[in-house]
Amino acid sequence: MATDTTIFGKIIRREVPADIVFEDEQLIAFRDIAPSAPVHVLFVPKTPIASLDAAQPAHAELLGRLMLAAAEYARTQGLAQDGYRVVVNCGPDAGQTVFQLHLHLLAGAPLGPFGKR
C-alpha cells in the first residue's frame, strides 16, 4: 500500500484539516480525532513508512527523532511529571488502522496497567 495516500499523508499535504500541535521538516503531530485519553496526540514521520515492521536501518535517525519529539512535547505540555504512554501499533492484530507509522502519545489521566485482557 502506498502510505502517502493514507489520511496521514493527506494531513501532511494539508488536504485534510487537523489540529496540528507540532511540525518540523521530518515530523508532524496532531490531536487524534477519536482520543483514547484526555491527551492523545499522533506523531507521524513525513517519510512514508507503512509500519514499524517496515522500517529499515536507514530510518534509525528518523525513528529516534519521532520518540524525542513525543518526549519533548510531553515535557513542554507539563505531562512528564505525572507520566505519559507512547504506543506504536504494528499490524491489524495490534490495532493499526492507518498504515503509516505513527506514535500515540497518551496522557492526562491515570492509564492503568498496559496489556491486560
Question: Which set of grid coordinates corresponds to residue 65?
Answer: 527523532
Q: Is 108 helix (H, G, I), strand (E, B) or coil?
A: coil
Largest distance between two CA atoms of the chain: 39
Q: Which of 40, 59, 102, 104 is catalytic?
A: 102
DSSP secondary structure, 16-41, as one string: S---EEEE-SSEEEEE-SS-SSSEEE
**40 part of the active site:** no
- The residues that are catalytic are 102
